[in-house]
Structures are given as C-alpha cells and as structure tokens.
A and B are shown apart, each in its own frame.
Chain A
C-alpha cells in the first residue's frame, strides 16, 4: 500500500470549502430540530390529547423509517407532487431538521419528566403561569440534565449529514468522492475528509463540555 498525498494538494481548498457547506446545513438542521423538538416535547407532556397523539405519531414515524428514505422522499416526491423544484439544500435541512426533532423531543421529554415535581409546585404556588414556569424554571433544569444526550444527537446529525451526498449536494462527503473520482485515487481524499469529520465532532464535543460547565453553576 502506498499513499500519495501530493496529488490531493490542489484539491484541498475545494475540500475545505465543504466544511462550510456541511456546517451550514448541519447548523440550520440542529436549530430547526431543536425548536421543533422542544415544541413536540411540550405537546407530549401537555394536557391536550390531540397534540399528544400527533407528537407521538410524528416521533414514531421519523424514528421508524430510514433517514435516507426521508431525504429521498422530500427531494424527489415534493417536485412530483407539488411541482415545486426543491433544492438539495432545502431538502436536506427539512429532512435532517424534522428527523432530528423527533429524537430531540424524546430527549427533552425525558429531561422534563426528570425535573423534581416540587419545582412545578413551587412555581405554581407562587402564581407563575405555566408557560413562564416552563421557560424559566423547568426547561433550564431539564436542559442541564440532557445536555450530554443532546450533544450526542448533534454529533450523530453531523456525521449522518454525509448522506446528503446522495442527492448531489456538494457537502464534505461529496467533495471527497468527487476528488477521488478525478484522481482515480479515492483513498487519500476519503481519509482526508474523514479527519475533518473527526475534527468537527471533536470541536462539537468540546463545545458541549464548555456549555455543561457553564450550566452546572449552582451544583
């Protein structure tokens, strides 16, 4: 086995650009997933039965089918059904955001249930309205408990994001494949982007640790 790194040098800027492309939709997907996931979690613990049923069904559907299938359906079926020519970027953030929200909602729901019931009662006894109590008292405590699980979900999403290469989106993964095809040497570019993914995940983990440290004041 002989590796020849010199050949990929001209392609390095092209591949590095993929970091930003990947990060862009990963970040948007995480934000979408987090917001929708929080709302779904609130549905699940709330008192409105239709909302609860909807949230459970939603979660079951997105967790029960392959992500790549969800991506394909959004990318291919939307144009076929509505005539709207959906871009790979939009398909990607929709698929990843919606999918992630299903997982995030379960994580947050568990985190909320783990907060001592006395916290709810203390807030209620002070006359704090439900919404306010959730935002200021319950969610901050829940988030602290679930941060490791949430970080894990974001890391998974970052890695899984590579499957958008299948719909032709020029992310990090796709760029590695393109360079490999150009050079007839797939191994070095794939190794190279592999290191980048690893680096991204490391940075995410460190950020998680940092936030965790900030949130654990009061312990």
Chain B
C-alpha cells in the first residue's frame, strides 16, 4: 500500500486549485461559503466554466466530452472544489442520467442528450418517487400507455428536487400492470414543456421550496424517449441509484464544513474563551475529524475497487450511511456554534440580498436552516434504513 499521491496527482491538484483561483467568481463562492441560497444562473455559470475546461463530466468517457477521471482524481477534484466553496453541480443529468444512457441508451439518445447536458441547454430532474412509492419505489403508479408512436403518461411524481428549474425529467413509469411490480416499469425521458405537465413547489422545513410535485395529465411522450427496453426500467433505475449513492458520501463537503466549523469555533467566544477551547465542543469537533480522516480512505478504497467507470455495489450503501451521518453531525455542530445567533430567520440574507446582517456573525443565519435541510441526506437516495437492509442482505447475507 502507498498512501502518498503520485507526482501526477499532485500536479493535478495544483492545476485544479489554480483553475479555481482564476475562474470561480467570488460572488458565487461567497454565497456557498455562507450557506446562502443559489439561484439557477449561479449553477449554470459555474457549470459552463467547468465545461469550457472539459471538467464538467468527471466520470464520462472522453469520447462524449467527459474527463474520464479515476477515483483519486475525482476525489481530489471534489476536495478542492468544496474547499474553494464552488457550487454543487446538479447531479441529475451529469451523474444520474448520463451513466444510464451510456450503459443502456441508444447511440442516438447519447448524441441527442449528452451534449445538451454539458452545454447546460437542458436541466434534468429525477422523477422516481411518488406519494405512495418512496422506499418501496417499485410500488409506483404513474402509467405510460402506448398509443401509436407515443406513450400517454398519467400520474404524479413528488419530492422532485429543483424541478422548478428543469426542462426535462427522467421518470420511472408503469408500462405493465399484471406482472411482478418490479417487472412492469420503464425508464422514460419527458420534456417538461409538453402539454399536461404541471409543477407545484413544496416548501420545506428550512423555508425553501427546493422540491416539487410534478403532475402528468395525458402527457404524450414519443416512443424514442424510452431508454432501453420497455418493462426493464427497474434494472436501469437501480444502476442509477448506486451511482447516486457514491456521490452522496460527500467527503469533500464534509472537509469544507469542517474547515468552516474550525474557523467559526476559533472566532466564537463562549464563557470567556474561544469555543474551540471548550473541552466539550472541542471533543465533538475532534471526533468528527477523526471519523472523516478514516472516511476519506474508506471512500477511496471502495471507489477504487470498483471497475473503471462503474459504481461499486452494495458497498456504496456503506459510504452513503457513514458519509451522511458525518455531514449531518457537522451541520449540527455549526448550528450549536452559532449560539443564540442561530435563532433569527433572515430570508433576505439567505437570498443573497446585500443587506448587512445585524444579528450576529456572517455564518449564523444559515446555521439552523442548513441543519434542518440536511436531514434530507439520510432520507433521499434510498433512506439509510434501506441501505442497512441492503448491506445486511448483500454483504452479510443475513
């Protein structure tokens, strides 16, 4: 074993760092640093910059405009971009749909959709969950009935993240009713501008409408928008979920949150001394850091072990559980660090208005909303309970 980075990897890190220093607009990174809310154009602007450099699609093959990085490069890139407070890339097209199209789509579909993901022409969202189908995803009821060279889609999706920005949605739909429930599902790409699609926002606990309900009322979808074979969608859906889970580990996000936490704790006075001198708080911070040091290696071990360009199997569930616990613990500590200043709810500040916040230090207004928002990490991408069941079955064979 050798834990040191190769010369090449060190140079890559330097290159990424320089790129960030030169390109990432501080107007955007300041928002990320302070936990403010990003608008659509922030994400688009940053994605376009990465695309111009050829760095937007880390895990795609070069032939489709990807960077084709290995696990270590991806981790380096994630660490550096997170520490520089770059916005999170919207994963739905880049790391969810694209791997599915690459593995199961037609060449025509790849040529049609992949360039538009890179260019930002399309913003994708994920239409898996329904009111009655969460953990039990295969219970989904949205139907797609063939009608000539179209499918007619009826039903409802929910919890659709950033659906308000999206113009395309990939959906799991039921195409056969009288079979085992996993067997009658298809993977369909739907243009959200088609008549009959309605998007309704859902306000969450942090006051933000980041998710939506999406309704389909006799929506006509051309058959060429079917991915793979009809009724085989469950296989593709699960393939996508393993990809989703690895990025959920979020080691880079934890690194950045830890750095912020340490800075805040060093500059917050509690009982006459800095908070990072408070033995209880310091112990909590140290505990998270120790876990995170190991987590970084766990992540690399698991991701490196997987075949090139492929996602790991049940081990990705482990990354998801441990990674999300750490990220949530960090938001909890940041909330505590803010003390009474965590109490005011200042939407104008969070929306990035230029009012100077009179209620305390700059990191305080987002502390509680972020803590609440990050409860989602252990719910989506397959709830942590479901991940434990996967590990119990697939790894422990219980």
> Is chain B found bound to chain A in the same assembly?
no
List the interface of chain B (C-beta within 8 A of A). none
List the interface of chain A (C-beta within 8 A of B). none
